Structure 1
Amino acid sequence: MILKSIFDRFSSFFGLLLLWPILLIIAILIRLKMPGGPVIFKQKRVGQHGKLFTMYKFRSMIASHSGSSVSVKGESRITPLGAKLRKYKLDELPELWNVLIGDMSFVGPRPDIPGYADKLEGDDRRMLLLKPGITGLASLKYRNEEELLAEQEYPQWYNDKILFPDKVKINIEYLNHWSFWNDIKIIIYTIFGKDL
C-alpha cells in the first residue's frame, strides 16, 4: 500500500493548499455563530494497530454537552451551523491534516472512539491493520447514518448491535480486496454523493 500512502500525503497537502480559504471562512463562521468554544473539535480516536491519535474536525456542537457517542440528526446539541457543516461533510475538512501527518488515510474505516476496537474478535481484528479514513465503503453505505439513527427508538443500541458489526464486515471486505483504483473510485463516489 505504498502507492496509497504517497497518494494520501500529496493529495492532502495540495488539498489543504487549495481549500485554505474555505477552511478560514468556516473557522470565522464558527467563531461568530458558535461563540464560547473552540473552532476545532479534538478527540482521541483509535488508529492503525489500535494506536490512539488526535482527530481534528470543525466543531459542530455546543461547547459543553454530555451526550451519547453517536450523533442523531436533529438533536439539540448540534447547532444550526453545525448541522449544515455536517450535512455537506465540511466539518471533516480538518481531517486532511490527519492524513498529511499520517494518522489517517483518505479511504479506510471511520476512526472509532476508544472502546469499540476492544469489541473486535478473531479475524475482525485485522481491521486495525488499516489506517482510518475520511471516507470508505461503510461511509458510502451509511452516508445518512444520522437520519437512520434518528428513526430508531434506541440509537446507541442500534449503532452498537447493528451498524458497528456491519461496518466491520464491510471494512474487512475492503481490506481483503484492496486496490488503489478502488480507493479512487470510492473518493469519486464520495465527492459526487453517489452509492457504490
Structure 2
Amino acid sequence: MGSLVQRLVALVLLIALLPILLVLAVALAVSQGRPVMFRQLRAGKGTTPFALTKFRSMRDTRDQAGSLLPDADRVTRIGSILRRTRLDELPGIWNVVRGDMSFVGPRPLLPETIRDLGSNGMKRCSVRPGLTGWSQVNGNTLLTLEQKVALDLWYIDNRSWMLDARIVLATFMVMIAGETIRDHKA
C-alpha cells in the first residue's frame, strides 16, 4: 500500500477509533493519572528521528537514588492489559497519518540503539518503521534484540503485500492469544 493511501486509511481509522481512544484515555487518567500519552524519540526511515506516540502504560516510579525502577515494577494493571492486547499502540496510528510510520514494518527503535546496531541498524532504517512487524508476530518480547533484528532484516529482504497482510492478521491473533515464538519462515 502506497504511503499516501496508508496515510488516508490511517486517518479514517483514527477517526473511527476515536470513541475507543477516548475511553482508554479516560481509563488511564483515572487509574494512573496524567499524562495518558507517552512520547519518545525514535529512529524512522533513513534514521530520521520522530516522536513515537502511544498510551502510557507505566508510572515514573524511581528508587531512592532517582533511577527508574524496572519496567515490571512500574507497569500498571491497565498498562499490562493495554500492552498484552497491543492497545497501547493505537495512538501510533497518528504517526502513520503523519507519514512517520507504516502499518507494517520493523518497530521503530531508539536512535542510539540503531547507532549501536551499525550496518544492521542502517538496513533496518531503509524502510519506514511499522505499528506492527514480523518480529512482533514471531515472539516480540520473548526474543532477544539480536533475534528481533534478524527477523526485521528477513522482513526487509522478503517484504510484499502478501507478507504484510499475513502480519496484520497475525497481529490480531497476538492481540487475542498473546505472544508465542513462531517459526518465522514465510
Q: Could you tell me the TM-score, scaled by structure 1's length?
A: 0.80
Deviation at 1:7, TM superposition (A): 4.0
Residue 156 of structure 2 is aligned to residue 175 of structure 1: yes
**Number of aligned positions between the proteins:** 173
Deviation at 1:58, TM superposition (A): 0.6
**Residue matched to 2:16:** 18
**Residue matched to 1:156:** none
**Residue matched to 1:47:** 44
Residue 90 of structure 2 is aligned to residue 93 of structure 1: yes
Given that 2:114 and 2:121 are in contact with CA atoms closer than 8 Å, whether structure 1 keeps it comes out as no
**Residue matched to 1:5:** 3
Amino acid at match of 2:18: W
Correspondence for 1:61 among 39, 58, 61: 58
Q: Could you tell me the TM-score, scaled by structure 2's length?
A: 0.84
Deviation at 1:121, TM superposition (A): 3.0
Given that 1:85 and 1:91 are in contact with CA atoms closer than 8 Å, whether structure 2 keeps it comes out as yes
Q: Look up the SS of the partner of 2:73 in the other structure.
A: coil
Residue 113 of structure 2 is aligned to residue 126 of structure 1: no
Q: Percent identity?
A: 34
CA separation in 2, counterparts of 1:39 and 1:63?
A: 12
CA separation in 2, counterparts of 1:188 and 1:7?
A: 19
Given that 2:101 and 2:128 are in contact with CA atoms closer than 8 Å, whether structure 1 keeps it comes out as yes
Deviation at 1:63, TM superposition (A): 3.8
Q: Look up the SS of the partner of 1:130 in the other structure.
A: coil
CA separation in 2, counterparts of 1:47 and 1:84?
A: 27
Which consecutive residues of structure 1, in runs of 5 or more, have no partner in the other structure? 149-161
CA separation in 2, counterparts of 1:85 and 1:176?
A: 31
CA separation in 1, counterparts of 2:59 and 2:118?
A: 36
Deviation at 1:186, TM superposition (A): 0.8
Residue 167 of structure 2 is aligned to residue 186 of structure 1: yes
